[in-house]
A and B are shown apart, each in its own frame.
Chain A
Amino acid sequence: MKSAGSTPSAKPRLTTSAMIASIAAEGQRTKPAPFGHALVELARSREDVVGMTADLGKYTDLHIFAQAFPDRYYQMGMAEQLLFAAASGLAAEGFMPFATTYAVFASRRAYDFIHQTIAEEDRNVKIACALPGLTSGYGPSHQAAEDLALFRAMPNMTVIDPCDAHEIEQVVPAIAAHRGPVYMRLLRGQVPLVLDEYNYRFELGKAALLRDGGDVLIISSGIMTMRALEAAQALSDDRIDAAVLHVPTIKPLDTEAILREAGKPGRLVVVAENHTVIGGLGEAVATLLMRAGVHPAFRQIGLPDEFLAAGALPTLHDRYGISTAEVKRQIKEWLR
């Protein structure tokens, strides 16, 4: 990690490449490749499951499935438009493809192909995409800040943003049991393990109150639930009582749970998401509350409407306000 020009006593300078492989913090409990292992487990009982990728098997943990079921694995080459059109064709013949790539390539490059060949035809294809939101330091080419907005806007599409390894293991069989297209954000490699301590079970379309508190309600999805839980713990040291409502299913939204929790008087409502503040969970919740006539004090934590910088993830998460420390700092400031 040391590089020329740094003083020996300085903090090690973080690099992009050191951080690309994992979003886990140092010392955090993790599980390797939960998606790959869960898919293998699922495929043991469901013969219709096939795995497909566009040259990113190793980088979406699909290689675990490929090793277990080589004859049910389709390497489609670096061709995302083909990947999703072919997934539609396999689904039309009665199979359930799990198609993987990076979130940027599914959401931006292959959007029309998913729209027309999968969503419009309501094909039973599960799309699992690594590097969602800001989980890569490679710059805008690899940062899928808009994926939730794009897939939320697509009719027929179910959209899921899991938090950790524990949840991913449960999302895989749950979306297989649901008939229809699904877009699922994927954490790959050494994936943090958090929710097992909360007695949590993933249920498609359901939000879960992981922690209650009277001062602030944090509504979050994906890795931001992890951050929200850590921030809530830290805020309690300052006698700020934070509730955390985890909303892994972005569409369809659990309107009942959100209205119930956000409707409780006297709490600041903060939506935290690893996504641009445009068109994601924050705006979905805001619209829901406005329509229902529920008007709490409301703030958003999310990525700004700009092309994000390249760099090391911890640096970027701090800069764009989605690190645990920044979540805590912003909430304290808003409550002052």
Chain B
Amino acid sequence: MARPTLPNAPSLAQRARNIRRNALLMGEVQGQGYIAQALDIADVLAVAYFHAMRFRAEDPVWEGRDRFLLSNGHYAIALYAALIEAGIIPEAELATYGFDESRLPMSGMASYTPGMEMSGGSLGLGLGIAVGMALGLKRKKSAARIFTLFSDGELDEGSKWEAIMSAAHHKLDNIIAIVDVNNQQADGPSKQMLGFEPLVDKLEAFGWFVQRVDGNDLDAVVGAFDAATAHAEPKPRMIVADTLMGRGVPFLEQREKNHFIRVEPHEWQLALSALNAGDQP
């Protein structure tokens, strides 16, 4: 079911690095942003777009595509970075990020951006929409699937649990949800805001097929998407991805307050250099 990989196609590691680079370049345009999240989720997005999902770059609304719902709209910079890498958005639009009239606003909205399937921003919406889309795809007897990404902080929202119950109740095995557990939200560490562990136990008890992986280990993420796709039970699938904020840029990984990062002008080059240095064997 996975995308066929051409022999000369970039590796997933290269894809992930390009996504990080695109995000940093957009961050530099505005001097700030949800950069640490983009860096932490880049590996998951690389695997989703370049291993697991079916789509046509030249036709973002192709009926047979797998849908990707970005529930946490403030991660838009990360998804734009992936959509640019996938060729759905031209690379030239990087420079427009967050400016007036841009198709790439700071928070992700379906009406602005090709490849964006929902308007996020307000948290806790995506999985509910996924339930409706999944029901709709089943009505149409479509083999397309819903991928949806949300953040650990969104587990605070009651609507998330309504949707978690509903997806299991309706046996929506065409949903593959990814929760980014980076343990960081606006006011501090997620686990201190509203405890959500033991997450795997909870989700399993709610009737989901659940895997927990290191979300920055490409092989582990590939394995999780493959297992989610291949799983036989009529259950929705959840990948709990533990990630590291700022992953790939050591001085951002170590920054204490990294929910919303301001990077000094001279630091962008340092960040890009650090990213490139990390690529050396």
Binding site for B on A (CB under 8 A): 50, 74, 76-77, 79, 81-82, 84-95, 97, 112-113, 115-117, 120-122
Asked if B128 and A117 sit within 8 Å, CB to CB, the answer is: yes
Known A76-B166, A94-B140: A120·B111 in contact at CB below 8 Å? yes
Which residues of chain B have C-beta atoms less than 8 A from A94's C-beta? 136, 140
Among A76, A89, A112, A122, contact of B129 (Cβ-Cβ < 8 Å):
A89
Asked if A77 and B165 sit within 8 Å, CB to CB, the answer is: yes
- For residue B117, CB closer than 8 A to chain A, the reply is yes
**How far, in whole Å, are A244 and B226 apart by their CA atoms in the complex?**
66
- For residue B88, CB closer than 8 A to chain A, the reply is no
Asked if A88 and B111 sit within 8 Å, CB to CB, the answer is: no
**How far, in whole Å, are A94 and B140 apart by their CA atoms in the complex?**
9
A-B contact pairs, 21 of them (CB 8 A): A77-B165, A77-B166, A79-B159, A79-B162, A81-B124, A85-B128, A85-B129, A85-B159, A86-B163, A88-B118, A88-B128, A88-B132, A89-B129, A89-B132, A92-B132, A93-B136, A93-B139, A95-B136, A95-B139, A113-B128, A117-B119
CB neighbors of A among B98-136 (8 A)? 109-111, 117-119, 121-122, 124-125, 127-136
Q: Closest A-chain residue to B109, C-beta based? A: A120
Among A82, A95, A97, A120, contact of B162 (Cβ-Cβ < 8 Å):
A82
Among B109, B118, B128, B139, contact of A81 (Cβ-Cβ < 8 Å):
B128
Known A77-B162, A85-B131, A87-B132: A93·B140 in contact at CB below 8 Å? yes
Asked if B166 and A90 sit within 8 Å, CB to CB, the answer is: no
Which residues of chain B have C-beta atoms less than 8 A from A81's C-beta? 124, 128, 158-159, 162
**How far, in whole Å, are A89 and B130 apart by their CA atoms in the complex?**
6
Binding site for A on B (CB under 8 A): 109-111, 117-119, 121-122, 124-125, 127-137, 139-140, 158-159, 162-163, 165-166, 169
List of 6 A-B pairs having minimum Cβ-Cβ separation, nearest first: A89-B132, A85-B128, A93-B136, A86-B132, A89-B133, A79-B162
Closest CB-CB distance, A70 to chain B, in whole Å?
13
**How far, in whole Å, are A260 and B132 apart by their CA atoms in the complex?**
44
Q: Closest B-chain residue to A95, C-beta based? A: B136
**How far, in whole Å, are A151 and B4 apart by their CA atoms in the complex?**
47
**How far, in whole Å, are A79 and B128 apart by their CA atoms in the complex?**
10
Which residues of chain A have C-beta atoms less than 8 A from B169's C-beta? 77
Closest CB-CB distance, A7 to chain B, in whole Å?
50
Asked if A86 and B129 sit within 8 Å, CB to CB, the answer is: yes
Asked if A93 and B131 sit within 8 Å, CB to CB, the answer is: no
Q: Closest A-chain residue to B157, C-beta based? A: A81
Which residues of chain A have C-beta atoms less than 8 A from B131's C-beta? 82, 85-86, 89
Which residues of chain B have C-beta atoms less than 8 A from A50's C-beta? 139
Which residues of chain B have C-beta atoms less than 8 A from A77's C-beta? 162, 165-166, 169
**How far, in whole Å, are A76 and B159 apart by their CA atoms in the complex?**
12
Which residues of chain B have C-beta atoms less than 8 A from A82's C-beta? 128, 131, 159, 162-163, 166
Closest CB-CB distance, B63 to chain A, in whole Å?
9
Known A92-B117, A93-B133: A117·B125 in contact at CB below 8 Å? yes
Closest CB-CB distance, B135 to chain A, in whole Å?
6
**How far, in whole Å, are A227 and B268 apart by their CA atoms in the complex?**
68
Among B110, B121, B132, B165, contact of A85 (Cβ-Cβ < 8 Å):
B132
Known A81-B159, A86-B131, A89-B128: A117·B118 in contact at CB below 8 Å? yes
Asked if A112 and B163 sit within 8 Å, CB to CB, the answer is: no
Which residues of chain B have C-beta atoms less than 8 A from A84's C-beta? 128
Known A77-B166, A113-B125, A121-B110: A89·B134 in contact at CB below 8 Å? yes
Q: Closest B-chain residue to A92, C-beta based? A: B133
Asked if A121 and B159 sit within 8 Å, CB to CB, the answer is: no
Among A79, A86, A121, contact of B119 (Cβ-Cβ < 8 Å):
A121
**How far, in whole Å, are A76 and B111 apart by their CA atoms in the complex?**
27
Known A85-B159, A117-B118: A74·B135 in contact at CB below 8 Å? yes
Q: Closest B-chain residue to A86, C-beta based? A: B132
Q: Closest B-chain residue to A48, C-beta based? A: B139
Asked if A88 and B129 sit within 8 Å, CB to CB, the answer is: yes
Which residues of chain B have C-beta atoms less than 8 A from A120's C-beta? 109, 111, 119
Which residues of chain A have C-beta atoms less than 8 A from B136's C-beta? 89-90, 92-95
Q: Closest B-chain residue to A93, C-beta based? A: B136
**How far, in whole Å, are A91 and B110 apart by their CA atoms in the complex?**
14
Closest CB-CB distance, A121 to chain B, in whole Å?
5
**How far, in whole Å, are A134 and B169 apart by their CA atoms in the complex?**
35
Closest CB-CB distance, A122 to chain B, in whole Å?
8
Which residues of chain A have C-beta atoms less than 8 A from B133's C-beta? 89-90, 92-93
Which residues of chain B have C-beta atoms less than 8 A from A97's C-beta? 132
Which residues of chain B have C-beta atoms less than 8 A from A74's C-beta? 135
Closest CB-CB distance, B65 to chain A, in whole Å?
12
Which residues of chain B have C-beta atoms less than 8 A from A121's C-beta? 110-111, 118-119
Asked if A86 and B135 sit within 8 Å, CB to CB, the answer is: yes
**How far, in whole Å, are A122 and B137 apart by their CA atoms in the complex?**
20
Closest CB-CB distance, A179 to chain B, in whole Å?
15
